[in-house]
A and B are shown apart, each in its own frame.
Chain A
């Protein structure tokens, strides 16, 4: 059997694929955070809870309303986006102009509240959520077998990332957002409704977290705590990529997924901490992150 550094090639490729898939999720989640941070200077601590809500909504849709995966792929992100919109409009907006730490505290409290509510009603055990029949089988990639759904989830996450990148970097609405990130006062002086832009951006970032949640539901156990396990890693990735950078979030999300996967093969004991080790390194060399600009 072929080997690289004493590691069988299929094992290596397998971890590479899984790493890429995790990376695509990291990318999607850090993208939402980064976009919100760029425009509002606000760290949305509730991002993990929004991710969990996406997955829980998907599960609840199937459980209580017999709505399948495809329906929930559409409805759950919309619901989470709408929830995000209300959070911004009714709570975060009041904190505008204050120290961002208040927003962090608010979203942290909100996270506890949301997770607590879901735990009260659904417990912490977690439930499996089956992928749709269409994506049920496994796919032969030549070097390995991969569940078809994994390939779909990866492709869908990458499509969402690319779509977001396109929206922000290549459209008129995106130019408002980029300009607002640089100089909100001037954007308002041009007659652009900045508060509306902030609200929609927050809703969009939330919806993206919700979408990641639905896509992750068939892969990891759906449970009220699934967000808090993941979000810390995502925060580290956003710090590595640089707060507020769209490409930075995507690239570092993917790269760290892969690095994490490969660490599992080469030196498994640090596979769950490698992201934080890298974060510490990046912070000492480039405090604004790999793709970030010093403010």
Chain B
């Protein structure tokens, strides 16, 4: 085993089920959420979420409609109206930071509604997110164009003229090149043709190879089953189940029941 892999699996062991920050030489978790509560106005949506993404891990957040997956990601980005608890990003506490400082810790966010800007061309949308002060190489623009050739071909079209699939590619591609090393991807496979879903799946695997940490909020279990190292299931604003990839077989029934499939 190479030293990096050893270190990673060690830190994974350490954080499994424990909220103690890794000590010594171990890297801090990419994302460490503890007792997170979040609100939209008066409505209390998250009720004590606990979740960890270790460096290099791809984690999937599952749950039924309205379980609170989107809200969890939005709370990390500071997009809910209020939040309490603790959100550590690479060892730094995010709660209390100004909104635009979260990304600078190395976070890339792809919102559920994709957030493609109509008044920007595809190329402008792609280049919009500024480079972050992380020194993480991520992908080069050429590598991204190889993953998603359409984006290059349609560089000068207004962003919202792209097909739904192309818009989704654009929404993820633009956070691959900024130096973000923790990506929060909300429902990226939803409602897309199988070829596009496959292309996105390939891209997620590439992310893993490059050492990105990824948190996928997904309803599509089949899409995430092939990609994630670990799964969390949410219900009514709480994590109700955590499953390692290796346990998938044993816990399939429990999972199916929670997801209502």
Contacts and interface: CB of A to CB of B under 8 A. Distances in A.
Interface of A: 172, 175-176, 178-179, 181-183, 185-194
B115 interface: yes
B103 A185 contact: no
Contacts of A192: 100, 129-130
Contacts of A182: 117-119
A193 B101 CA distance: 8
B115 A194 contact: no
Nearest to A169: B119
Contact of A178 (B79, B101, B119): B119
B124 A190 contact: no
Contacts of A194: 99-100
Given A188-B100, A189-B102, A189-B103, 16 more contacts: A175-B120, A175-B127, A176-B128, A178-B119, A178-B120, A179-B117, A179-B119, A185-B99, A189-B77, A189-B111, A190-B103, A190-B130, A191-B100, A191-B102, A191-B130, A193-B100
A59 to B, nearest CB: 39
Interface of B: 77-79, 99-104, 109, 111, 115, 117-120, 124, 127-130, 132, 175, 178
B79 A185 contact: yes
A191 B119 contact: no
Contacts of A187: 128
A175 B124 contact: yes
Contacts of B127: 172, 175
Contacts of B78: 188-189
Given A182-B117, A183-B115, A185-B79, A191 B128 contact: no
A179 B111 CA distance: 15
Contacts of A175: 120, 124, 127-128
A190 B128 CA distance: 8
B124 A189 contact: no
Nearest to B160: A182
B99 A188 contact: yes
A166 B92 CA distance: 40
Contacts of B104: 191
Nearest to A179: B117
Contacts of A188: 78, 99-100
Nearest to A293: B118
Contacts of A186: 109, 111, 115
A61 B79 CA distance: 47
B213 to A, nearest CB: 17
Contacts of B129: 190-192
Contacts of B111: 186, 189
Nearest to B109: A189
Contacts of A176: 128
Contacts of B178: 190-191
A178 B100 CA distance: 17
Nearest to A178: B119
7 contacts: A181-B119, A186-B109, A189-B78, A191-B130, A192-B129, A192-B130, A194-B99
Contacts of A172: 127
A190 to B, nearest CB: 4
A170 to B, nearest CB: 10
A38 B222 CA distance: 42
A295 to B, nearest CB: 13
Contacts of A178: 117, 119-120
Contact of B132 (A185, A191, A193): A191
